[in-house]
Chain A
Amino acid sequence: MRGMTIQNTLRAWFFLLTTLLLVVFSTVLYLGVRRSLFQALDAEIGARAEAFLSSVEWEEGRAHVEAGDLLGGAVDDKWGVELRDAGSGRILTRVGAALPPLKQKPLALSMPRFVTLPGSPPRRLGLFARDLEKEEMGEEAEERERREGPRCFLRISRSMASIEAQLAGVRWTILVLGGFSLLVLLAFSLFLSWRLVRPLRDLGETAKRVQANGQKGLPRSHNGDEVDQLAAILEDAFGALLAALDRQRRFTSDASHELRNPIAGIQNAAEVALRQRRSPEEYQAFLQDILGSSQRMGRLVSALLLLARMDQGMEVQKEPTDISMLLAQCALDLDPGGKRIQIQGPSQLTAKVQPELLRILCENLLQNSLHYTPKESPIEVRILAPNPVPVQGQGSASPRPRLIFRDHGPGIPPSLQDHIFDRFVRGAQANPNRDGAGLGLSLVAEIARVHSFDLQVHFLEDGVQFELGL
């Protein structure tokens, strides 16, 4: 189930990424809200500080504060105000909730400073410094303040219970909305991954069917997307594969058919021979048939083995070989009287080939010609030495030695011309008792292929010409 893994990976990544984004956004949102709430609180504290400071009345270094007036009549636990002398740190006056002791004497506080005090609920504390004798301040006073710092400072605190409550509300909202979004995202990721993987899965299903019953078409959207391209590629690959499979199947079936015939011959001859007592002459005839069938089978098996080995990519051991000598021997074996095969060319020509294979190639070509052309017609073999200089009219040089086989007969009918190198294709006039199984020219083509020989056929009106560039 590989498709499922892709789908799961897709789901996991999508979900992970969206969750991460959601968390980041929520955090930023929460912090933003918190910050603005704090700013509003600080501004409120600042305003109260201004109001407080402007309402203080001074008398011999002591502040008189009317609590009721100072905080607009709303002096309760929410607020706590402390005015201290900057020099001694002594509390000049205090209103509202108690504040924790001063840990550090603030000096030169030109700007208000805000901190959050821990506790339940936490409190926001603002520190303000002010020269309270501003009105009377001349140059001397300013000089002193620069030297000694402000004369007094104000600590004003406000309970953060309301902010806490608001923030808690925001947190809950974010949690609920976030959870809901996560569920939606999860569902969406499931759908999206399913939707993305669906064409792939369809492709997989079809591929399975292709494997099972050789169906060829794949589901194609023809919209040029990646899946469609993949389908096109797969279709081509499947096509090639099925064609190869088909060829292989046909080859196997043909091979088994060709082998069954001689086997049937051997079996039947033996069976019939053993059915009753016979004369030695009769036994001899049966044995002759058995021998003939066995030889036929032997030839067939050798050819099939050779083809199979070459199909599997046999390594060709090339060695310098005298081509002229090899051809002369072939001709002598096939045409002992030397009446039909005529060889022209240098009496010695060496090339690097695999001699056994080249011999099989030449034998098959010559045998074909001998079988398919009239008894008296000549078969011409020309051996051409390599010619590095371009030949006039031929256009290109021929650096390889070449062999040309030319026969004079009925030629090859057009219907067979495209198939002469196919396996188990025989000429119409072939006699299965004398001729091969239609493997000769396939062997020739295969041997040429593994040697990288250049093999060409010319279909002529009065025969066939094979050209082999070694």
Chain B
Amino acid sequence: MARLLLVEDEDFLARSLQVGLEDELYLVDRAGNGEEALWHARSGHHDAMILDLRIPPPSGLDVCRCLRAEGRKLPILILTACDTPQEVVAGLDAGADDYLTKPFAFEVLLARLRALLRRGSGGQSAELRVGNLRIDTAGHRVYRAGREISLTRMEFLLLENFARNPGALQSRSKLSALLWEDELGPDSNSLDVLISSLRKKLDPDHPRRLIQTKRGLGYILIEESELG
């Protein structure tokens, strides 16, 4: 699941952006000025950054130049009200990968982000395929036999983890740690609830479950071919 760094000093805009992006199953970290932006970006946890140019110092352009000078390849999308050709050129020349001017359509922002993440994966396909299951890791969309399945964030995170390691056993504690950054989770039941809702969405009319329980050990995702 892609983790984004949102650098925007306008609270009114940043809040709705964050909610919108989280609805699209992205993990979002926010920074309100250049310093915070640099601090977050240097952690190396993010897959892409949405950067406003006019922020409390250092400015968006300086943040961009600074990160590129440090050799960081973090994809950067500049989202700003500055729309003159010179400003766009300056932004892209400072090392940004894309440039979008405000006001913008949220759909366009999402599409640009997906494109950026695909490129960011270094030519690697942003798609995971396990049998007839297809997962678009940049766009956070899941298809089974060509039909789109709508998942919540937790469900997607869980499924993406399974799909990256098809046929491998995933222990309960490992899954809990992944989902809640805590081995136990909110309570021991939560994982069961999540698995069962995922199963309901994934195979409502398929004879065998994709995710199988290995009692006492954990869960395993079975490749479609094995299902016969």
Residues of A that sit less than 8 Å from B by CB:
253, 256-258, 260-265, 267-269, 271-273, 275-276, 282, 285-286, 289-290, 292-293, 296, 428-433
B148 at the interface (CB under 8 A from A): no
Q: List chain A residues, Cβ under 8 A from B105.
A: 271
Q: List chain B residues, Cβ under 8 A from A256.
A: 81
Does B16 lie within 8 Å of A275, measured CB to CB?
Answer: no
Question: 0/1 per residue, B83-123, Cβ < 8 Å to A?
Answer: 11000000000000000011111110000000000000000
Does B56 lie within 8 Å of A264, measured CB to CB?
Answer: no
Q: List chain B residues, Cβ under 8 A from A257.
A: 54, 81-82
Taking chain A's interface residues, is the majority helix, strand, or loop, or is none over half, making it mixed?
A: helix
- How many residues of chain B have a CB within 8 Å of chain A? 25
Known contacts: A257-B54, A257-B82. The answer to whether A264 contacts B104 by CB under 8 A is yes
B5-13, B163-171, B189-197 - the one binding chain A: B5-13
Question: 0/1 per residue, B210-226, Cβ < 8 Å to A?
Answer: 00000000000000000
Known contacts: A272-B106, A273-B16. The answer to whether A261 contacts B23 by CB under 8 A is no
> How many A-B pairs with Cβ below 8 Å?
84
Give CA–CA (A265, B17) in the complex, Å: 9
Known contacts: A271-B20, A289-B16. The answer to whether A432 contacts B10 by CB under 8 A is yes
Q: List chain B residues, Cβ under 8 A from A290.
A: 12
B19 at the interface (CB under 8 A from A): yes
Q: List chain A residues, Cβ under 8 A from B9.
A: 431-433
Known contacts: A263-B102, A428-B56. The answer to whether A275 contacts B12 by CB under 8 A is no
* Residue of A263, A272, A296, A431 most packed against chain B (CB within 10 A): A272
B15 at the interface (CB under 8 A from A): yes
Q: List chain A residues, Cβ under 8 A from B17.
A: 268, 272
Q: List chain B residues, Cβ under 8 A from A430.
A: 56
A-B contact pairs, 10 of them (CB 8 A): A260-B81, A260-B102, A262-B10, A264-B81, A264-B103, A268-B103, A275-B23, A285-B19, A292-B12, A296-B12
Does B13 lie within 8 Å of A261, measured CB to CB?
Answer: yes
Give CA–CA (A282, B18) in the complex, Å: 13
Does A265 lie within 8 Å of B16, measured CB to CB?
Answer: yes
Cβ distance B70 to chain A, nearest Cβ, rounded Å:
24
Name the one of A258, A269, A428, A432 contacting B16, with C-beta atoms under 8 angstroms.
A269
Give CA–CA (A262, B105) in the complex, Å: 14
Cβ distance B43 to chain A, nearest Cβ, rounded Å:
24
Name the one of B20, B54, B83, B101 contacting A272, with C-beta atoms under 8 angstroms.
B20
Q: List chain B residues, Cβ under 8 A from A289.
A: 11-13, 15-16
Cβ distance A297 to chain B, nearest Cβ, rounded Å:
10
Cβ distance B47 to chain A, nearest Cβ, rounded Å:
20
Does B84 lie within 8 Å of A260, measured CB to CB?
Answer: no
Give CA–CA (A292, B16) in the complex, Å: 12
Does B103 lie within 8 Å of A267, measured CB to CB?
Answer: yes
Q: List chain A residues, Cβ under 8 A from B12.
A: 262, 265, 269, 289-290, 292-293, 296, 433
Nearest A-chain residue to B104, judged by Cβ: A264
Known: A285-B19, A289-B16, A431-B56. 18 other contacts (CB 8 A): A256-B81, A258-B81, A260-B101, A260-B102, A260-B103, A261-B10, A264-B81, A267-B103, A267-B104, A268-B13, A268-B17, A268-B104, A271-B20, A271-B107, A272-B17, A285-B15, A292-B12, A293-B12
Nearest B-chain residue to A256, judged by Cβ: B81
Cβ distance A426 to chain B, nearest Cβ, rounded Å:
9
* Residue of B23, B54, B82 most packed against chain A (CB within 10 A): B54
Give CA–CA (A276, B105) in the complex, Å: 16
Q: List chain A residues, Cβ under 8 A from B81.
A: 256-258, 260-261, 264
Cβ distance A419 to chain B, nearest Cβ, rounded Å:
16
Give CA–CA (A258, B83) in the complex, Å: 12
Known contacts: A267-B103, A275-B106. The answer to whether A286 contacts B16 by CB under 8 A is yes
Nearest B-chain residue to A289, judged by Cβ: B12
Q: List chain B residues, Cβ under 8 A from A276.
A: 23
Cβ distance B56 to chain A, nearest Cβ, rounded Å:
7
Residues of B160-213 whose CB lies within 8 A of A: none
Give CA–CA (A293, B105) in the complex, Å: 17
Cβ distance B82 to chain A, nearest Cβ, rounded Å:
6
Q: List chain B residues, Cβ under 8 A from A275.
A: 20, 23, 106
Cβ distance A48 to chain B, nearest Cβ, rounded Å:
102
Cβ distance A345 to chain B, nearest Cβ, rounded Å:
37
Give CA–CA (A296, B56) in the complex, Å: 18
Does B10 lie within 8 Å of A265, measured CB to CB?
Answer: yes
Give CA–CA (A371, B83) in the complex, Å: 30
Nearest B-chain residue to A430, judged by Cβ: B56
Does B103 lie within 8 Å of A428, measured CB to CB?
Answer: no
Nearest A-chain residue to B52, judged by Cβ: A261
Q: List chain B residues, Cβ under 8 A from A432.
A: 9-10
Name the one of B57, B84, B101, B106 contacting A268, with C-beta atoms under 8 angstroms.
B106
Q: List chain A residues, Cβ under 8 A from B107.
A: 271
Give CA–CA (A290, B11) in the complex, Å: 11
Give CA–CA (A188, B208) in the complex, Å: 107
